[in-house]
A and B are shown apart, each in its own frame.
Chain A
Amino acid sequence: MDTQTPLLEAKNLSIAYSTRSGPLNAVINFNMTLHKGDSIGIVGESGCGKTTVLLALMNYLGKNGIITSGDIFFKGKSLLSMSQQELTDIRGNQISMIYQEPMSALNPCLTIGKQLFEVLAFHSNLSPSEAQERTIETLHDVRLPEPEHIMTCYPHQISGGQQQRIVIAMALLSRPTVLLLDEPTTALDVTVEYGIIKLINSLKQKYGSSMIYISHNMGLIRQTCEDLIVMYSGHAVETGKTKDVFSKPSHPYTQGLLKCIPSPAHEPSERPLSPIKGQLPPANDRPKGCFFGPRCHFFKEGLCDNPNGIPLEKTPFHPNHFSRCARTHELEKLEQPPTPKAATRASSSTQDTHPLLSIQNIKKNYHVQQSLFSSLSSSKTKTIKANNDISLSVYKGQIVSIVGESGCGKTTLAKLILGLEKPSSGSISFDNQNISDLSVRTRDTSLISHLQMIFQNPNETLNPSLSVGYQITRAVRKFNPQLSKKDARKKAFKLFDMVSLSPQIFFNRLPMHLSGGQKQRIGISRAFAGSPSLVIADEPVSALDVSVQSSVIELLHKLQLNENCSLLVISHDLSLVRYLSDFVVVMYLGHIMESGPVRDIFSPPFNPYTEALLAAVPIADVSISKRDDIVLEGNLPSPFNPPKGCPLSSRCHRFIEGLCDTTPPPTQKISDVHSITCHIPIDTLKSQPPIFTTNPNQNNQKETKS
């Protein structure tokens, strides 16, 4: 094979799915060339066609996927004309894939060893002992401890992060020339994700595989790929070197996306979010000309709605940088959309002396019964300490965020406040009333309507069998029993207006006819149905697409200011937290690791956990450089068996043997409001450099890859 032949090439590829209502074009006229050693990132929001492209590259589109035009070549040979046998020989051997959800990608009934072995059995001529050797070597490469032991395990016996390493090892076993990665870290926690990303980068160098990485996260692509394709509604709208595209985004969609991402390195006032208006057009009803047209600030009639479509054209910045915009060349001269004014928030944290919500030394233990019989012999019950000595206060008009990864106990805390669970000890008072023993059933209407919640998953927050109008009216009537039916309906209409959804259009719709962002807005309006004074928002935007996220964040901000209520935001996303909150509490395994005003949390001194969380945030902004020397090793400990001493001691990069693993750390006060729970002296922590450094000169920025 001569070096000129690309490894993998998609030419004018169009893919449609046949549905009952006719074919839907998922990918339109897609071109891509992958040479040896290349790494291409495909980025886009859900429904843009990126996963379809990836599956097509394996010629695996399921029953109803059809390649309507174009072709795919692997080492110069058309994949589409290959026989089943030829495909089987290539799949898993020359091209392998790493999947989104490792738990479901592994067969629950076969041991990991068996699942790894068969790759070599079918794709190599290695002897069993050589195969064994190769497998163990690969497991070492993905940094799994005790490979021999892990091979005898079943997938459910190991953690999510380990499962993902197995999936990666499985893909690497046959030393493939092309590696396809389908959002390989989406199901994982931030710190685990960071470890996997570093691993992928180092393996890329070691094995010299070419790779195609798809993700919705621009920051991850920046950390892993040299080249970038931005997709929107089935089209590649911008392609080029990753650094070129990110430093000179030339398509209004790319520009918009980058402006939607909250930055953990900036004050919100320096870098306000500007959401993209509107939403992705449905695949059977795309606009004429530029698909992004209706959402674009620069839309020009007669030019952007050209019925022949808009071609992918060279940008003025770099010969390999293309953009599918009719106004590419004049874009720089055009007036940018007005940046929304940064939300000016009076930092009200110290105005009131009395907190609205005050949590004192809350503990919550769950007793997990193994079975009916072991409950008879009570000694066998296991205890999970979901919340361990948590204290925090929320003042009127303040936004407090609780940050932590899965299993840190943040959701339990929300349940305790809302009265869905009772604390094992400690007290919660709201508006000077002790509510810790009041379950939600015994709370009166006024207390209930003052304490509401916004849920994480837009698909679960609304009842699928009731119209959204009914659901909002029901909440209004529940919180304001004095209102007549007519007035309640009026108020519900107002709530729809408040979250910018037209009640005339949406009131009678079932949730399934709403997009994710719209459902989330309805969920938010429901929480505000009774003029609440505290709203708990559990990961309010984590399930939404980037462009929708920012508008929902804006909405939350606006409502909080207008209604003058307090927000308690629960999130794993530090960028969001920095953007949204006044005060931050960092939790790990049921313990508070650090708490303080938002500015103090994002600058040294850090608790080592906060430091690691910050270092793990993927950054798309090329003007920011990030320290990359901090990685939390290993996995979250089992909640049944937390480490003695400091909860972080099993993973901490600043671990002190003989101290951290034996003695619980003290809580050290840095100021009245900022405290860190750690053994390391404050002065040492203070001397740490900041995680992010801003480099105002964007053009000669330094890459921050490992």
Chain B
Amino acid sequence: MSAPTSSLTKLFRILKDIASSPFGFLGLFLTLFWIFVAIFAPLLAPFSPTELIQPLVKPLSYTKNGQLLILGSDHIGRDVLSRIIHGTRPVLFWSIFATFPAYFIGSSLGLAAGYYKKSTDTILSFIANLILSFPVLVLYLIIIVYLGPSGSNIVVAITFASSPAIFRIVRALTLDIAGRDFINAAQIRGESSLYILFIEILPNAKGPLIVDFCLRVGYTAITIGVLGFLGLGLPPPSPDWGSMINSGRPFALFMPHMVIFPCIAISSFVLGLNLLADEINHINSRI
């Protein structure tokens, strides 16, 4: 039994387990669907997201040149469907990768606080609570306004705002795990603190962290959408969903398709992640 096949079969078994409940299946389907769309965006999109075809075409209508625009076009004539498909890329990319630094910082400090306790914990927890007492959007606004809207600045903002929450989760898990006998066993065979933190403790916290990851990617996608909606999103021409909604809002009255479809896209993506998180949580608690 070699390691790679066993971990692949394990992954397969977990996916099968998730898909065996209807909600889990829906969550998995929606999530994988959007990941698939993001990966194959150029192949799936009928047009370029920036190509000006014909303004304000209604869904399922033909242009003068006889091209079918399934979801219609926007006020300057770009195909809404193509923009949504291409929009998956920045949204998924930034919402997934913006959470990584937050996990790195949040888990490292959480492990340290939960393991060393005492003053390390007091100080780190105080700082975490300090950041957490800023309303999230206030934090984003200050950071984005000061640094300017761009993908990497979104990462900075998300890292800053999410790390304390992750810190809290990891700290609580570490406090629990560090009291178990196998940690004592590692201590009395003279293992280094780094080994204990990252090999003995961290893997045992992965269950709740995976659940949190799914939820957090969803929230991050919403946040990026909100920033786009407020006009602080990724700079054009990158077609992120929030910005599409923002630019389409003045036309929403008579051309609702320009805003409704991006709304459905982001809602279904977040719904998929939430359902997935719920189901994984369910499976975790059963073991």
Q: Which residues of A contact B (CB under 8 A)?
A: 372, 418-420, 440-441, 443, 445, 448-449, 451-453, 455-457, 460-466, 475, 478-479, 508, 512, 523, 526
Contacts and interface: CB of A to CB of B under 8 A. Distances in A.
B135 interface: no
A420 B188 contact: yes
Contacts of A461: 181-182, 185
Contact of A460 (B1, B122, B181, B190): B181
Given A420-B188, A465-B204, A512-B287, 18 more contacts: A418-B188, A420-B187, A443-B190, A449-B189, A455-B184, A456-B181, A457-B181, A460-B181, A461-B181, A461-B185, A463-B200, A463-B204, A464-B204, A466-B200, A475-B189, A478-B189, A478-B191, A526-B185
A419 B181 contact: no
A475 B200 CA distance: 13
B239 to A, nearest CB: 42
Contact of A452 (B1, B122, B188, B287): B188
B180 interface: yes
A462 B204 CA distance: 12
B13 to A, nearest CB: 12
Contact of A463 (B122, B182, B188): B182
A502 to B, nearest CB: 15
21 contacts: A420-B188, A440-B188, A440-B190, A441-B190, A445-B190, A449-B189, A452-B188, A455-B184, A455-B185, A460-B180, A460-B181, A461-B182, A462-B182, A463-B204, A465-B203, A465-B204, A478-B189, A479-B189, A508-B1, A512-B287, A526-B185
A171 to B, nearest CB: 31
Most buried by A among B184, B188, B191: B188
Contacts of B199: 466
A448 B189 contact: yes
Contacts of B287: 512
Contacts of B200: 463, 466
A458 to B, nearest CB: 9
A448 B191 CA distance: 11
Contacts of B204: 463-465
B190 A448 contact: yes
A453 B203 contact: no
Contacts of B185: 453, 455, 461, 523, 526
Contacts of A449: 189
A523 B182 CA distance: 9
A466 B188 contact: no
Contacts of B191: 478
A420 B184 contact: yes
A456 B184 CA distance: 12
B198 to A, nearest CB: 12
Contacts of B180: 460
Given A457-B181, A460-B182, A461-B181, A448 B188 contact: yes
A190 B122 CA distance: 39
A526 B206 CA distance: 25
Contacts of A441: 190
B195 to A, nearest CB: 9
B121 to A, nearest CB: 11
Interface string B46-86: 00000000000000000000000000000000000000000
A420 B196 CA distance: 15
> Which of B189, B190, B199, B200 has the most CB atoms of chain A within a 10 A radius of its CB?
B189
Nearest to B189: A478
A465 B284 CA distance: 14
B-side interface size class: 10 to 19
B203 to A, nearest CB: 4
A453 B185 CA distance: 7
| Interface-centre pick from B1, B122, B199, B206 (highest chain A CB count, 10 A) | B199
Given A372-B122, A465-B203, A440 B182 contact: no
Interface in B160-193: 180-182, 184-185, 187-191
Contacts of A419: 188
A448 B189 CA distance: 6
Q: Residue among B122, B185, B191, B287 with the most chain A CB within 10 A?
A: B185
Nearest to A418: B188
Contacts of B203: 463, 465-466
Nearest to B190: A448
Contacts of A445: 190
Nearest to A479: B189
Nearest to A455: B181
A655 B77 CA distance: 97
B110 to A, nearest CB: 17
A230 to B, nearest CB: 32
A453 B188 contact: yes
A231 to B, nearest CB: 27
A466 B199 CA distance: 9
A366 to B, nearest CB: 14
Interface string B125-163: 000000000000000000000000000000000000000
Interface string B245-287: 0000000000000000000000000000000000000000001
A376 to B, nearest CB: 13
A407 to B, nearest CB: 17
B245 to A, nearest CB: 42
Nearest to B182: A463
Contacts of B187: 420, 440
Contacts of A457: 181
Interface string B112-125: 00000000001000
A561 B122 CA distance: 48
Contacts of B184: 420, 453, 455
Nearest to B195: A474
Nearest to A443: B190
Contacts of B181: 455-457, 460-461
B236 to A, nearest CB: 46
Most buried by B among A418, A452, A456, A464: A464
Contacts of B188: 418-420, 440, 448, 451-453
B111 to A, nearest CB: 15
Contacts of A420: 184, 187-188
Complex A-B, nearest 6 residue pairs according to Cβ-Cβ distance, in ascending order: A455-B181, A465-B203, A460-B181, A460-B180, A463-B182, A448-B190
A304 B187 CA distance: 50
B113 to A, nearest CB: 15
B193 to A, nearest CB: 9
A418 B181 CA distance: 14
A188 B161 CA distance: 47
A638 B206 CA distance: 38
B123 to A, nearest CB: 12
B273 to A, nearest CB: 24
A583 B1 CA distance: 48
Nearest to A475: B189
A466 to B, nearest CB: 7
Given A453-B184, A466-B203, A478 B190 contact: yes
A236 B10 CA distance: 39
A460 B1 CA distance: 27
A113 B287 CA distance: 37
A372 B204 CA distance: 30
A461 B183 CA distance: 8
A440 B181 CA distance: 15
Contacts of A451: 188
A449 B191 CA distance: 12
